[in-house]
Amino acid sequence: MRILTFFLILTLVFIASCKQKAESKPESNVSTEEASIKVKGIEVTYATDSTNLNGYIAYDENKQGRRPGILIVHEWWGHNDYVRERADMLAELGYTAFAIDMYGDGKQANHPDDAGKFAMSVMSNLPEASARFNAAIGLLKEQESVDKEEIAAIGYCFGGSVVLTMANSGADLDAVAAFHSGVALPVMPNQDLKARVLVCNGADDPFVSAESVTTFKTAMDSIGATYEYIAYPGVVHSFTSKEADAHGEKFEMPLAYNADADQKSWESLKQLLKEVF
């Protein structure tokens, strides 16, 4: 009887020990570094002499010290949730990201006709476009989490054309990256370009002609610019946006999300920023 009691106690102890280990086992394989990331997003307002602007700044508040600052310029739809999601993604990588507003008052378009008008109003008035862009750079540099000597800019669609144009106009940027962006720009590459450049486009994007790509590359080569132009076969416009398919179907436009190109272009951006900073 004593022997049976002894073995019963041992069995209960073993079961309790196994239960305790199971309960203490982590639910995921998230690293300590990943678990320590805490992205904070804040709404900001800023202005030029003529325009009020709304933006969104994201950073990891658990990260110590100053870090590179990255401007993000929206698609022609305007400053929306998509550009803020990209800001959060950059914050997770350890940067301070600023999703800026190039239209004013956070204005957004619900139809391609309006989006085209908004985009044209910016690209046809470069002094005001530069003022809005420079106001954003100024605010980004004021952030306590930003090393004001390390600034880059990225953009999508219309935003890609904006960052390329600003870089060609001599903006003090270390790097720029453009995704599904036109390269027939109001200011083409010239000796004022200081930034290292990445362009990621769909090879089958009907909005980006082969002639414009050739002209762009020729101009970049003529000034000895450091750049990479990547064209993804079979990929069309707006390939990084998961809303592209719905927009394409609704407005009968050649827009389509491509997960492979989206991931590859993001990895190329990460590599660019790693090398520059």
- Domain CATH number, residue 92: 3.40.50.1820
Q: Is 4 domain-assigned?
A: no
Residue 50: pLDDT band (50, 70, 90) is: very high
CB 58 within 8 A of CB 41: yes
Residue 34: pLDDT band (50, 70, 90) is: low
Q: Using CA atoms in the order 204, 210, 213, 217, what is the torsion angle rounded to 10 degrees? A: 120
Q: Is 5 domain-assigned?
A: no
% of the chain beyond a pLDDT of 90: 87
Residue 33: pLDDT band (50, 70, 90) is: low
Q: Is 169 domain-assigned?
A: yes
Q: Is 13 domain-assigned?
A: no
Least confident of 5-9, 33-37, 85-89, 239-243: 5-9
Q: Is 221 domain-assigned?
A: yes
Q: Is 20 domain-assigned?
A: no
Q: What pLDDT is recorded for position 32?
A: 53
Q: Is 238 domain-assigned?
A: yes
Place of tokens 């202005």: 47
Judged against a pLDDT cut of 70, whether residue 20 lies above it is answered with no
Instruction: Name the pTM for this structure.
Output: 0.87
Q: CB within 8 A of 53, min separation 6: which ones?
A: 45, 46, 47, 100, 101, 104, 105, 106, 132, 135, 136
Q: What is the pLDDT of residues 75-96, one digit of tens each?
A: 999 999 999 999 999 999 999 9
Number of domains in the chain: 1
What does residue 95 show for φ and ψ, rounded to 5 degrees? -100, 165
Query: 237 lies in which domain range?
Result: 35-276
Q: What pLDDT is recorded for position 35?
A: 64
Q: Is 139 domain-assigned?
A: yes
Q: What is the pLDDT of residues 231-254, one digit of tens each?
A: 999 999 999 999 999 999 999 999
Tokens at 86, concatenated: 């990209």
